[in-house]
């Protein structure tokens, strides 16, 4: 059984990878985890702190994954020094050792518990407050009112101490590092409102603000939980990819003996025995043997590549045929697999910078809140008011300027948008994925498994001679080759009973043969393996691959296979082009099938036999030209391009690493979810802008009123809650809104 030989990416020059060259400075990389960063100010502070250390040549932060990638000279600094520096800046960090997925789940559960406590307390305190409001000026005695205040304190204070921990902890770390973030004014407002309420309760005043403090925390926790819930789990993408490495290998010694060793212990020049079905442990060159290697992680194609002496093979690919002896040329972190993982990681690090524009507002907003509150307090004192009304007005300003509506503006829209898309079979994973999807102006499609279904199909199956097909599938049934499986599927659809023949011999890289005592042996495989005569079944389509069967009497029948396009591929491409998008086809497959797929769907620009690095380069060209490409691919070879694209999508049947890397995953056999996703993404951005307008208008109206003393802390909390409800209600409309598709 054979496929067509196709070029695969050439790994970087090995000599350039080896450390220890006298002309090459010793450089190491590490990844740190800093779970306490929440905004653009945190990102900038962390990068500035590390870049200021001697020996650190580069520090990049990914806010989505809360990871810091640093390149440094180990002779001048160390990981411990970097961790100590971050701790001094208020960001406790640790070196990444293993996946933090369990930690992320624990944080989600922790937020849910705090949110539940805050909601329960807010509801009960509000009931008590309503009773006090209705009783003031009526028949409620001072003793009853004081009792209700103490009951409110008994409920609110423990709830505030517990539910407010995320904000208090973040504020403490920020102040410890000599900086401000948005959790500082939030914590200050809650603490002052609670402290003032306790003081007023002791004095027997009519008004206290426990309800304002706990309600404020409740809505802030909703915003923080929604934001965290939307964060991608892309942190494990590169680690998951490296999980495809073989953990062990059979090392051949010069004397012919062998021993199984750890794959990490292999060195360039090592001779490795790769048995059939094993994953190749290192990049190398075949010294002995003939086989087929499944290279979907490199080329994206499901058809194995035939290899023989002198062929190059890559770590992570699977030997599907006979045994091979491979001389390693690159091992461990120097393999092409590791290189792809680094490309993914680098692309993800770069992506984190996109959301900084919105986060930088925190650098101005936090000091502005304190200045307004302080000015209110001093202004009231200067006008002859006492410290108590002055402080009450300052607290109202702190609460009224709380960015709860601003914080909910985008997460609320994201939840509504992702809920709508989920009902239509689309899962949006990245927190800023919708924003980037809405900005895309160029659609870049992979072919196999994306534009097509990724499964070879027999051309003209209904016209095939039934008896000949029945004999051929007796051989095909013993093989796992994609063409053999396609032949079996075609026979089953014709109602032909499939029974594997006994004694079938698989010739790696060529095909299958069934020896017969008194006749020619039957063969199924490459045309050159069985002969070149015979007439194709049905009409051979452009780009079709051919499999031939030779019967016992010597007659040869040829079967043509193509990878069927998705049923709505042409329609979706037409809609995208009509909407003003530029559509390109970028594939690792051969020229013929790629050209045929492009012609069938109306795509004018296409490239075939493109390596992962080539796809990455093309996306770089588009970005340099001012375009914002949406990459849609399914193969592991597409993962770096998916990570580097301005936005990315992947079908549900894609490789795990591609699904982790992509911003969104769509289900089903059609491409229509791509159109729906883009339409929802654009609508979500319009609604996000509307929500920002609501939040800004709220601040424009209520901040001056609070500074003038016309808003109490309770009214401030209610107004803040109302603005949050307004942006949430606006976002919910997206779930049922009828959308139009255009640029």
Q: Do 557 and 609 lie in a common domain?
A: no
In tens, the pLDDT along 100-116 reads: 445 556 777 888 899 99
Q: Are strands 426-428 and 664-666 parallel, antiparallel or unpaired?
A: antiparallel
Q: Do 112 and 218 lie in a common domain?
A: yes
Q: Do 449 and 587 lie in a common domain?
A: yes
In a domain, 678, yes or no: yes
In a domain, 709, yes or no: yes
Percent of the chain with pLDDT over 70: 78
**Is 446 tagged catalytic?**
yes
DSSP class of residue 55 equals T
In a domain, 31, yes or no: yes
What mean pLDDT is predicted for residues 240-258? Answer: 71
> What values do phi and psi take at 95, rounded to 5?
-75, 140
For the beta sheet containing 605-607, the strands, ordered from the edge strand earlier in sequence to the opposite edge, are 426-428, 664-666, 647-651, 629-632, 442-445, 582-586, 605-607
Catalytically annotated residue among 332, 432, 446, 589: 446
Give the rounded distance of the alpha carbon of 710 from its chain centre.
47
Is residue 628 over pLDDT 80? yes
| pLDDT attached to residue 352 | 37
* Mean pLDDT, the chain, whole residue set: 77
Q: Do 435 and 576 lie in a common domain?
A: yes
In tens, the pLDDT along 13-24 reads: 333 333 333 444
In tens, the pLDDT along 523-573 reads: 988 888 887 654 444 334 455 678 889 888 888 888 888 878 888 999 999
Is residue 314 over pLDDT 90? no
Range with lowest mean pLDDT among 233-242, 455-464, 624-633, 717-726: 233-242
Give the domain extent around 184.
104-229
The DSSP string of 505-548 is EEETTTEEEE--SSSPPEEEE-HHHH-S-S-BSSPPPTT-EEEE
Q: How many CB atoms lie within 10 A of CB 496?
A: 17
Q: How many CB atoms lie within 10 A of CB 52?
A: 10
Q: Which residue has the tokens 């520090």?
A: 59
In a domain, 721, yes or no: yes
How many CA atoms does the CB half-sphere of 83 hold within 13 Å?
A: 13
- Among residues 562, 585, 606, the one where a domain terminates is 562
Is residue 420 over pLDDT 70? yes
Q: What is the CATH number of the domain that holds 547?
A: 3.40.1110.10
- Among residues 537, 562, 587, the one where a domain terminates is 562
Range with lowest mean pLDDT among 110-124, 231-245, 634-648: 231-245
Q: How far apart are CA 73 and CA 294, in angstroms?
A: 39
Is residue 240 over pLDDT 70? no
Counted domains in the chain: 6
Q: Do 675 and 616 lie in a common domain?
A: yes
Q: What is the CATH number of the domain that holds 432?
A: 3.40.50.1000
Is residue 444 very low, low, confident or very high in pLDDT (cuts 50, 70, 90)?
A: very high
Higher pLDDT, 344 or 75: 75
Is residue 151 over pLDDT 70? yes
In tens, the pLDDT along 630-675 reads: 999 876 667 788 888 889 898 876 555 556 678 888 877 788 889 9
Q: Do 137 and 207 lie in a common domain?
A: yes
CA dihedral (593, 595, 600, 601) positive or negative: positive
What mean pLDDT is predicted for residues 112-124? Answer: 90
- The pTM assigned to this predicted structure is 0.56
Q: Do 577 and 610 lie in a common domain?
A: yes
In a domain, 7, yes or no: no
Q: Do 213 and 325 lie in a common domain?
A: no
Is residue 408 very low, low, confident or very high in pLDDT (cuts 50, 70, 90)?
A: low
In a domain, 11, yes or no: no
| pLDDT attached to residue 159 | 93
| pLDDT attached to residue 354 | 34
Instruction: List all residues 6 or more positions away from 682 whose beta carbon is below 8 Å from its beta carbon.
Output: 438, 739
Q: How far apart are CA 570 and CA 575, in angstroms?
A: 9
Is residue 65 very low, low, confident or very high in pLDDT (cuts 50, 70, 90)?
A: low
Is residue 594 over pLDDT 50? yes
- Among residues 185, 203, 229, the one where a domain terminates is 229
Q: Do 671 and 571 lie in a common domain?
A: yes
Q: Do 461 and 529 lie in a common domain?
A: yes
Q: What is the CATH number of the domain that holds 270?
A: 2.70.150.10
Angle at 193 between CA 192 and CA 198, to 5 degrees: 95
Q: Do 157 and 216 lie in a common domain?
A: yes
Q: What totals of helices (H) and strands (E) does the chain contain, helices first?
A: 26, 26
Q: Do 43 and 63 lie in a common domain?
A: yes
In a domain, 236, yes or no: no
In a domain, 349, yes or no: no
């Amino acid at each position: 059984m054979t496929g067509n030989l196709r070029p695969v990416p050439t790994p970087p020059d090995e000599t350039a990878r080896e450390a220890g060259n006298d002309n090459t400075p010793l450089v190491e990389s590490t990844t740190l985890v800093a779970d306490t960063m929440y905004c653009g100010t945190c990102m900038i502070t962390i990068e500035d702190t590390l870049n200021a250390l001697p020996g650190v040549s580069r520090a990049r932060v990914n806010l989505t994954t809360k990871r810091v990638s640093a390149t440094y000279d180990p002779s001048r600094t160390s990981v411990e020094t970097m961790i100590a520096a971050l701790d001094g800046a208020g960001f406790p960090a640790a070196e990444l050792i293993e996946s933090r997925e369990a930690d992320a789940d624990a944080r989600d559960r922790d937020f849910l518990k705090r949110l539940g406590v805050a909601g329960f307390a807010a509801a009960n305190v509000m009931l008590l407050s309503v009773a006090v409001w209705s009783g003031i000026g009526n028949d409620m005695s001072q003793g009853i009112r004081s009792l209700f205040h103490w009951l409110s304190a008994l409920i609110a204070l423990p709830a505030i101490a517990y539910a407010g921990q995320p904000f208090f902890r973040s504020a403490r770390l920020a102040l410890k590092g000599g900086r401000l973030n948005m959790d500082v004014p939030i914590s200050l407002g809650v603490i002052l409102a609670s402290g003032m309420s306790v003081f007023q309760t002791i004095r027997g005043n009519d008004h206290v603000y426990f309800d304002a403090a706990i309600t404020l925390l409740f809505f802030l926790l909703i915003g923080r939980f929604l934001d965290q819930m939307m964060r991608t789990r892309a942190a494990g993408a590169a680690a998951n990819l490296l999980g495809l490495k073989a953990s062990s290998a059979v090392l051949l010694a010069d004397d012919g003996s062998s021993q199984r060793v750890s794959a990490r212990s292999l060195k360039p020049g090592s001779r490795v025995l790769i048995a059939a079905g094993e994953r190749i442990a290192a990049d190398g060159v075949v010294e002995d043997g003939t086989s087929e290697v499944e290279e979907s992680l490199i080329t994206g194609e499901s058809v194995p590549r035939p290899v023989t002496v002198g062929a190059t093979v890559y770590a992570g690919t699977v030997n599907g045929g006979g045994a091979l002896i491979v001389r390693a040329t690159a091992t461990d972190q120097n393999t092409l697999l590791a290189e792809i993982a680094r490309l993914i990681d680098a692309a993800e690090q770069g992506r984190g910078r996109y959301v900084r524009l919105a986060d930088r507002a925190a650098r101005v907003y936090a000091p502005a809140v304190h200045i307004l509150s302080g000015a209110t307090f001093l202004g009231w004192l200067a006008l002859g008011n006492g410290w108590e009304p002055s402080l009450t007005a300052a607290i109202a300003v702190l609460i009224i300027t709380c960015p709860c509506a601003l914080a909910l503006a985008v997460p609320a829209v994201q939840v509504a948008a992702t809920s709508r898309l989920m009902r239509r079979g689309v899962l949006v994973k990245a927190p800023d994925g919708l924003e980037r999807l809405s900005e895309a102006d160029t659609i870049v499609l992979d072919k196999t498994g994306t534009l097509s279904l990724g499964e070879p199909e027999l051309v003209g199956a209904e016209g095939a001679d039934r008896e000949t097909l029945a004999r051929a599938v007796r051989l095909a049934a013993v093989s796992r080759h994609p063409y053999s499986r396609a032949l079996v599927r075609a026979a089953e659809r014709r109602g032909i009973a499939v029974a594997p023949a006994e004694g079938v011999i698989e010739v790696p890289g060529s095909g299958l043969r069934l020896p017969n005592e008194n006749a020619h042996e039957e063969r199924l495989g490459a045309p050159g393996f069985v002969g070149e005569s015979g007439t194709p079944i049905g009409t051979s389509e452009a780009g079709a691959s051919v499999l031939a069967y030779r019967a016992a009497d010597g007659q040869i029948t040829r079967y043509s296979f193509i990878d069927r396009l998705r049923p709505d591929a042409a329609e979706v491409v037409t809609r995208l082009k009509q909407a003003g998008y530029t559509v390109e086809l970028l594939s690792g497959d051969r020229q013929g099938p790629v050209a045929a797929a492009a012609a069938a769907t109306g795509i004018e620009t296409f490239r075939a036999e493109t390596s992962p690095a080539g796809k990455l380069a093309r996306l770089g060209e588009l970005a340099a030209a001012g375009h914002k490409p949406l990459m849609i691919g399914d193969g592991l070879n597409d993962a770096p391009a998916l990570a580097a694209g301005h936005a990315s999508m992947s079908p549900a049947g894609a490789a795990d690493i591609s699904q982790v890397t992509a911003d969104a995953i769509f289900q089903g056999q059609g491409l229509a979810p791509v159109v729906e996703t883009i339409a929802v993404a654009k609508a979500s951005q319009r609604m996000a802008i509307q929500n920002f307008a609501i939040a800004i208008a709220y601040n424009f109206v209520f901040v001056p009123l609070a500074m003038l003393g016309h808003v109490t802390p309770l009214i401030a909390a209610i107004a803040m809650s109302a603005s949050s409800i307004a942006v949430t209600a606006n976002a919910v409309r997206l779930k049922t809104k009828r959308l139009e598709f255009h640029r």
